[in-house]
Every structure is written in structure tokens, then in C-alpha cells.
Amino acid sequence: MNRNDTPRAPATFHVKSFGCQMNVYDGERMAEMLGAQGMTAASDGVEADLVILNTCHIREKAVDKVYSDIGRMVREDGSRPMIAVAGCVAQAEGAEISRRAKSVDIVVGPQAYHRLPDLIDKAGRGEEAVDTDMPAASKFAALPGRARQARPTAFLTIMEGCDKFCTYCVVPYTRGAEISRPWSAIVDEAKALVDGGAREITLLGQNVNAWTGEDERGRVQGMDGLVRELAAIADLKRIRYTTSHPNDMSEGLIAAHGEIEKLMPFLHLPVQSGNDHILKAMNRSHDTDSYLRIIERVRAVRPDIALSGDFIVGFPGETDAEFEDSLKIVDQVRYAQCYSFKYSPRPGTPAATMDGQIAAEVMDERLARLQAAINRHQLDFNAATVGRRTDILLERKGRHPGQLVGKTPWLQSVHVTAPELAIGDMVEVDIISAGPNSLAGKPSRRKAA
């Protein structure tokens, strides 16, 4: 490898994560692991001895961005940091990354990042440092305990991988088969996060609601049982989870939304298309009717729930009429928020070689129409909140002096001007105005911590 004045033993590091919340979690765990090794986190990658690009492979543009970032690592004096490519791009492309980008020193997949310290040592000696194994042993056991959080919200991965094999998706190939973390490991990590300052935890997984395990008494539990256990942690105020699959939305989990106060009234449940023919071509295990029945059952137990979803437009073979069905389901569900994407062919997936690939300009037009419909419902949902009194958890500073931003139970961002409050406070506010992406609120009274 061409090291070009790279330090042999990096003392500082910077992790840059792309893509999903699970990558954010993995980035945090890598940072904690390197901190436990005696390294110091740098605020950015400009002066760091080691830069880790924790990558996403879901969309082509995300992959291109990684290589673009690698190319910008050379500093004005010609030196560069040690560069590690981690995550799903690393898993998918392996040693090819180093051949394509000679300045990359380390390639490590998402199931092997607990071996990062050894890879750093190898790279420091000028040896090949590539690890894209998917070991059967859990990487989580090799990671250090959770560090104290600098913010009141935290992510906690409870399962990884996917067994669904949607025809457009690379996750089964980059993250492997579905594996649930043990009950006790999750509960212990949640308690450590709360002890470290977290007041809200979001449970993560590619198909998070597929989690299953045995509790401390040896009883088989689904995710609803796990949520009930976590809700018993006294100082944990809020629980969320993402991303869910309709096929794993059990009756127990649906019931939990109506019974567990700490489980927030928000559900991200991707449908991907409103047309059954396209859903079958995607190898989704649901149709529109079964999806809508789930929505009805969730709303029956929690009428105020905010719903979120994912849509793909321009899947191979999608006709104009089939796309119109996606607009119809948007209007039926009335999503509080939604993610929407143009289909992006991923190498190695069945959909990449399907007939009927859609022209870019057609996808652009469909995406614009879909997003207009989604935005209309999102604004309607936000506007319906005006005049409501609710709690928000203050998470970060706003743009203006004395301004703080917090989240409602429905995951809406609320801006409040309250210099006397602090990040981490749970405060009751009156919602006074709404825009398409955020709300404005006025504190009604300070809540006890």
C-alpha cells in the first residue's frame, strides 16, 4: 500500500458515517472502541491521523460520495491521514476498494469492525488490512461498554441482517442473515446508556421487529416483550424503534403501542409501492391489503399514532398506472412523514438485470409527484398539532440565541426560545405554529426531570 507519509501509529481519529441509523450506531461503537484503545477523537477529518468512512451501499450516489471523499483526503502539504473504509461498501467491494483507491489503507465490513484495532496495526506496518468476514460470533461481545452520551437520545442495535431478499436490496449480502442480539446484552446496554445520560432510546435493526430471543427465565420473547422490559428502566422516558417490516408486525407489538406509555406513538413501516404487481416483483411478503390492515389495527389501539414509510419509484417495469397506485396509498394512509427514492440498481441484486428499466426523466417526474403528495399530508399532520399541549425532549441548540430544538412524541421537531432550559430537559410546550418540516412551541411549564 502506498502510505504517503501516513502516521504509523495514529493517535487521533475521526469517524464519518453515511446512510442509516445503524451506521450511526456502528460509528459510535467504533469511536468508543478506539477511545478505549487510548486514541482521541478529532472534531473533523482535516487533522485526524485516522479517518474512518463508515459507508452505505443502498444507493449508487452514496457509493460515489465515498470515493469522492477519499479523493479529498490529501492535504495541502501532500500528506494524508490513514484511511479506513468501513460499512456496507467495504463489505460489497472488499479489496477492490484498495485497488480502485490506492490511498485506502483499511477495508473492514460491518460485521468485522470489532477487529479494527488489529487492522490499524497491520496498516501501520504496511501490510494488507482487509477484513470482510461475517463471523458467527457476535462482534458486540468484543466491544467495550457504552460510554456516557453527550446527548439525551441514543441508538441501540438489537438485531442485524435480513432474510427477506427484496429484489432491489443489497442488505442480505452486506449485513448477512438476521441475527438477534441476546436479551440480557440489550437490557444491559440500555441500562448503561440510561446511566450515561440517555433519556430516549431508539432500537435499531434492518428488520427490527423480527427480533426474537429468550428472557432471563428462558421464555421466548418477541420485540414487544423486550420493549416492556426496557420500559421498566426508571430513568428511561421514551422508546422508539426502526426499521420495521410489515411481515413482522406481530399482534403483541401492535398491542404494545396501546399499552406501553413509554413507547412513542410513531411507526416507520415501509410499504415501498402501492401496487401489488410491483410488490410481488420486489419480493415483498405483503400486499397493499395486508399492509392497510396492519395500519388499521395500529390506529385502533393508538389513534394518534404518526405513520412513516418508504417508497421506491421507477422500479423495473412500473407502469404509469402502477405508480398511480402509490399515490393512492399515500392518500389512504396520510403519512406524517415519508422517505421516497428513485429506484437505484445495485450490482448483484435480481432487479438490476430485470427488463423494463425506467428512464431517469420518468423517475424524476414520478418522484416529484410522490413527494408533493407526501409533503401535503406531512403539512396537514403538523398543522393539526397547532394548539396542542405536549411534551418535548430538548435535543440540541437551534440557530438563534436561546433557541432549543426538541422532539414531540410523534417525532416532530419543535423550536422553542427558552434560555432557562437545557439540552436533556423534558418540557411541556404549547404548539403555536407549524411548517412542513418543523413546529414552533412555547413552554407552558417546566417538567420535573
The model's pLDDT over 116-173, given as tens digits with 9 standing for 90+, comes to 999 999 999 989 999 988 775 578 887 878 877 778 999 999 999 899 999 999 888 8
CB 176 within 8 A of CB 161: yes
Of the spans 56-60, 78-82, 330-334, 419-423, which averages the highest pLDDT? Answer: 330-334
Residues 6+ apart with CB under 8 A from 169: 58, 162, 346, 349
Which has the higher per-residue pLDDT, 133 or 264? 264
Q: What's the pLDDT band for 20 if we cut at 50, 70, 90?
A: confident
Distance CA 201, CA 230 (A): 9
The x, y and z cell numbers of residue 284, run together, are 415483498
Please, what is the average pLDDT of the chain?
A: 91
62-76, 238-252, 258-272: least confidently modelled range: 62-76
Rounded Cα gap, residues 224 and 238, in angstroms: 15
Q: What's the mean pLDDT in 380-392?
A: 97
pLDDT in tens, 289-309: 999 999 999 999 999 999 999
Please state the φ and ψ torsions of residue 129, each to the nearest 5 degrees: -130, 80
H/E stretch holding 326 = helix 320-333
194-219 pLDDT, tens per residue? 999 999 999 999 999 999 999 999 99
Q: What percent of the chain has pLDDT over 90?
A: 72
**Predicted TM-score of the model (pTM):** 0.87
220 vs 100, higher pLDDT? 220
Query: Is the predicted pLDDT of residue 430 greater than 70, yes or no?
Result: yes
- In this predicted structure, the answer to whether residue 448 has a pLDDT above a threshold of 60 is no
**Furthest CA-CA distance within the chain:** 63
